[in-house]
Amino acid sequence: MVGLSRVLASIGIFVDKSKKKDVLVALCNIENIEEIYDVTGEFDILSIVSASCLEELREILQRKIMKIRGVRSAITSIILQPHKIAKKPDASKVVQS
């Protein structure tokens, strides 16, 4: 859980390779997605999603993420309890490439 009553989940997303850039752009426009990573391994993209409840998380997954052209499938894991959270960088000090 995040804050007082937020549901936090990691979503591993499998995408068509030719659509990966478009999928990343579309994911960036979904308000509930807190973090997005281009990763190696089992899936192509890892996202961290925050929702007010499980029902909202399901809606985000089914009606937003899975509707993006190029998304093939996803694996969702609900985060039960964080034990260590990275400090958010100061946005004014982040260098954009």
Q: What is the pLDDT of residue 94?
A: 53
Does residue 61 belong to any structural domain of this protein?
yes
User: Is the predicted pLDDT of residue 89 greater than 90, yes or no?
Assistant: no
At 25-46, the pLDDT tens digits run: 999 999 999 999 999 999 999 9
Domain-located, residue 27: yes
In a domain, 37, yes or no: yes
Q: Is residue 97 part of a domain?
A: no
Q: Which residues contact 56 (CB under 8 A, 6 or more apart)?
A: 7, 32
- Strand-pairing partners, residue 48, are 10, 35
Is residue 16 a part of any domain in this protein? yes
Q: What global pTM score does this model have?
A: 0.82
Domain span holding position 47: 7-79
CATH classification of the domain holding 60: 3.30.70.920
> Taking 80 as the threshold, does the pLDDT of residue 90 lie above it?
no
Q: Which residues pair with 45 in a beta bridge?
A: 13, 38
Please check whether residue 47 lies inside any domain of the structure: yes
Q: Give domain status of residue 39, yes or no.
A: yes
Please identify which residue in the block is written with the tokens 């937003």. 64
Are 70 and 15 a contacting pair, CB within 8 Å?
yes
Domain count, the chain: 1
The amino acid that residue 27 corresponds to is L
d(C-alpha 47, C-alpha 9), whole Å: 8
CA triple 68-11-22, angle to 5 deg: 30
Q: Which of 58, 62, 56, 68 is nearest to 26 (CA)?
A: 68
Residue 94, domain member (yes or no) = no
